[in-house]
Chains A and B, each alone.
Chain A
Amino acid sequence: MTQLDPKPQPSHASGQGDTAQKCQCLRTALEDHESKLRDAAQAFVYVLGLARDPFQVAEFAGEAVQYAAQRVLEEASTYQIDQPPYPWIRKFVYNAVRTLRSKRLIERKHLTLVSDTVTAQRARAQAPDRNTEEELLAQLWVARNNAEPQLEWREIFQLMHPEDRLVLELYLDGYAGEALAAALTQQFGRTIRRGAADTRLSRAKSRLPDAYRSYRHVSG
């Protein structure tokens, strides 16, 4: 699948049910979730670097949602009626944003090759040692569910920024999702949404390998 083809995964492409019924279901979902789809589109526009100015972000997002709505109805026959429609539609919105980005790059006479290649190269260059990180996260998961290895983790957390330490300690204590957001809200004295809590936790996890290496270095 290329970024210019907004079709979802083939696993969802087996035609089931009547297309008219699917169209009606998707139309309803488009209306019911319009606000969430716009928010998602704005996040995609921003993160993929299509625009940074808030008004431009909103403009591109609106265009993407409109284009995606059209494509969703064109592709209604491939929608599996037993799947929730919203995540399926959101994928079209994402692909619409990627299509807009490609068009914009071409308009600017940039080589189309530049975008994804550079993004991927940058991602690879910035990616930490994934094996180490995944091993650490797996070990952290085990520690979260067993009392014994937690002490060492708490020593590692001591080497981290206080906000990373706090979110990781809460995670080790069993907090996640909404519960983590509520605990952080209590700690900071201001509302921390679930998405912000997930983001803080993920970024803290990304910094774990450095702290782990420092800990190993110090403890010999």
Chain B
Amino acid sequence: MKSKNNQQMREWWIHRYVQAFDRGDAEGIEAVLDAALSDPDLSAAIDEINLGYLEEAGSRIACSGVMRRS
């Protein structure tokens, strides 16, 4: 039962994330990113949604070497 509740909650966060993305709702996105700090499955779902959006927007550009190694 507990895992079902977790799954239901995760689905709710995923739904909120997509809604926040569709609306450009910065606080909504932040809330879901916070929820994902301790939920690896939600975190992975967020990455997939990010990729889905980039594909939808046709904006995925490889930009290698942008991060400085410290």
Enumerate chain A interface residues (CB-CB to B < 8 A): 3, 8-9, 12, 27, 30-31, 34, 36-40, 42-44, 46-49, 52, 54-55, 57-59, 61-63, 65-66, 69-70, 73, 83-84, 86-88, 90-91, 94, 98, 116, 119-120, 122-123, 126-127, 137, 141, 145, 176-177, 193-196, 198-199, 201-203, 205-206
Contacts and interface: CB of A to CB of B under 8 A. Distances in A.
B6 interface: no
A47 B21 contact: yes
B70 A122 contact: no
Contacts of A83: 37-38
Interface of B: 4, 7-8, 11-12, 14-15, 17-30, 33-34, 36-38, 40, 43, 45-63, 66-70
A188 B21 CA distance: 25
A27 B68 CA distance: 11
A119 B26 CA distance: 8
29 contacts: A8-B34, A8-B37, A30-B67, A31-B69, A36-B47, A43-B49, A43-B53, A44-B29, A46-B53, A48-B24, A61-B63, A66-B68, A69-B67, A69-B68, A73-B70, A84-B40, A90-B46, A116-B27, A119-B23, A119-B24, A123-B24, A127-B23, A177-B45, A193-B51, A195-B47, A195-B48, A195-B52, A199-B53, A201-B15
B69 to A, nearest CB: 7
B28 to A, nearest CB: 7
B47 A39 contact: yes
Interface of A is mostly: helix
Contacts of A47: 21, 24, 29, 53
Contacts of A196: 52, 55-56
A123 B28 contact: yes
A203 B48 contact: no
Nearest to B22: A203
Given A61-B63, A123-B24, 8 more contacts: A40-B46, A62-B67, A94-B30, A137-B15, A195-B52, A198-B49, A199-B49, A205-B15
A97 B19 CA distance: 19
Contacts of B48: 193-195, 198
Contacts of A201: 15
B27 to A, nearest CB: 7
A194 B24 contact: no
A198 to B, nearest CB: 5
